[in-house]
Chains A and B, each alone.
Chain A
Amino acid sequence: MTELIENLLDGDHRALARTITKIEDRAPGYRDLVSQLHEHTGQADVIGITGSPGAGKSTLVDKMAEEYRDRGLTVGVIAIDPSSPFTGGAVLGDRIRMASNTGDMDVFFRSMSARGSLGGLSTATTDAVKALDAFGKDKVIIETVGAGQNEVDIVRMADTVAVLVPPASGDDVQMLKAGILEIADLFAVNKADLDGANRTVQELREMIEMRRDELAVATGHHGAVEKTSPGGGGADEETDDEPSWSPSIVETVAKRGEGLGELLSILDDHREYLVSSGQLESKARDRYAAEIRTLLREDSAELLAEEIEARGGIEGFVDRVLDRETDPYAVADDLLDPVVECVESKRD
């Protein structure tokens, strides 16, 4: 085992920080590091927090971390901010909100930027979560702006996903329809002391019920669907044996910590539901399957890029395609065939 990982497992903060840097940079040898981490993971409860800019994510995460610390739990936070697609630079501002936990090293807060790499961010985030998990953090919180596929992918890695919605955000609720509704285990209508909170709660409730009806029709379980109880629900008492989960709605004022207790208890309920329903394991299976596929896709793409270079570069092939000597499909077959042959001959 490398010294860095040994130190990390020993609880050295610097080693943890450096490991995450290597993961982010995809520095030489980072894969070995992550491999070594794997056997020490699987203990942390991973929570994803997402929502539109200004919804109050960082403030809420700060309060959550404080409360978990009061309960004697250790916390890791990964806050992801966008980076400039032009310079790659970024101002990572989430840390400013972490006012309640300054000086407490047992809250490990790390800012990450999207670094504009396609898909790479979710790999880096997965691996950084592993580092925090192996380090021994009880709760790992991933915080990200919920816009676009990339972020949805990231948040999906969490066991439990909370979506923050500011009041009177008709448009944001519209946005939620495009993919985020499906991944939310819990909605927090934050800044609930502002006008329009009730309406937002109402709109969310309607959306959730509409979705439940759709699901019920799709699966043929008409009778099994119950309405969410007022004030959010949690795990449903269903007539079926299978426990199921319908997203709860909670009103919070993150700045003052209002609604925080309810939010955390719903997060705990969801965790319990995941364990009792077997969802935790099936989620982990899905996640590892996706991870293996992603790695293979990246690795084989790299392998083929090398092969293209070895055969004189992509431009040569493009020239022949332009001259109608060959076509893209034929080129792809041509490049892939030796690989396929090689794989087939080595399979056993």
Chain B
Amino acid sequence: MSEAQEQRTIRCLVGKVGLDGHDRGAHVIARAFRDAGFEVIYSGLHKAPEEVVQAAVQEDVDVLGLSILSGAHNTLVPKIMDGLEEYGAKEDTLILVGGIIPDEDRDELLDLGVSRIFGPGASMDEIVDFIRENAPERQ
């Protein structure tokens, strides 16, 4: 492993928030991140927003990927954003959303601070590249 890699390893939290039990996508993403050389923490199913916030803060992740297929994104994402803000973690965490997000809801999520929404059909390479390019600089 090269010196540079050792110095800076991208840490990601893959979070399943809310009541949908569809975690195939989250598993596939977690594996892809691992194979890209990231350290991945998987939250497990059915997590409350506070739990995801707690994990993101304590693990000090660079990237928070939220998988939501329940349609409750307009409720869940703002709660998570507020929680991250409370702990001063919103600024330097790259927040991504994956799953089923209707077009008309996208702008609102992006306004809240979500960096990018990856829907069905997004390729792994695309997501991994996006993270590599946009992982926040840390102080």
**Cβ-based interface call for B88 (8 A):** yes
Chain A residue numbers with a CB within 8 Å of B42 are 91-93, 95-96
Choice from A96, A103, A113, A117 contacting B44 with Cβ under 8 Å: A96
**Cβ-based interface call for A69 (8 A):** no
Contact with A along B14-46 (1 / 0, CB 8 A): 000000000000000011011111111111100
Residue pair B47, A102 in contact (C-beta under 8 Å): yes
Choice from B33, B40, B47, B58 contacting A17 with Cβ under 8 Å: B58
Residue pair A102, B51 in contact (C-beta under 8 Å): yes
Q: How far is the CA of A90 from the CA of B40 in the complex (A)?
A: 6
Q: How far is the CB of A88 from chain B (nearest CB, A)?
A: 5
Cβ-closest chain A residue relative to B44: A96
**Cβ-based interface call for A330 (8 A):** no
Chain A residue numbers with a CB within 8 Å of B11 are 21
Main secondary structure of the interface of A (DSSP, over half): mixed
Q: How far is the CA of A110 from the CA of B44 in the complex (A)?
A: 16
Q: How far is the CA of A25 from the CA of B51 in the complex (A)?
A: 25
Q: How far is the CA of A116 from the CA of B1 in the complex (A)?
A: 8
Q: How far is the CB of B66 from chain A (nearest CB, A)?
A: 16
Contacting residues of chain A (193-221) with chain B, CB-CB under 8 angstroms: none
Residue pair A14, B9 in contact (C-beta under 8 Å): no
Interface size on B, residues (CB 8 A): 35
Residue pair A17, B57 in contact (C-beta under 8 Å): yes
Choice from B47, B50, B60 contacting A18 with Cβ under 8 Å: B60
Contacting residues of chain A (97-140) with chain B, CB-CB under 8 angstroms: 99, 102-105, 108-111, 113, 115-117
**Cβ-based interface call for A174 (8 A):** no
What is the size category of the interface that chain A forms with chain B? 35 or more
Residue pair B36, A13 in contact (C-beta under 8 Å): no
Choice from B6, B48, B55, B88 contacting A14 with Cβ under 8 Å: B88
Residue pair B59, A111 in contact (C-beta under 8 Å): yes
Q: A13-B58, A18-B60 are known contacts. Are A89 and B47 too (CB-CB below 8 A)?
A: no
Choice from A92, A96, A102, A117 contacting B48 with Cβ under 8 Å: A102
Residue pair B37, A17 in contact (C-beta under 8 Å): no
Q: How far is the CA of A18 from the CA of B92 in the complex (A)?
A: 11
**Cβ-based interface call for A326 (8 A):** no
Residue pair A14, B57 in contact (C-beta under 8 Å): yes
Contacting residues of chain A (164-213) with chain B, CB-CB under 8 angstroms: none
Q: How far is the CA of A93 from the CA of B6 in the complex (A)?
A: 21
**Cβ-based interface call for B97 (8 A):** no
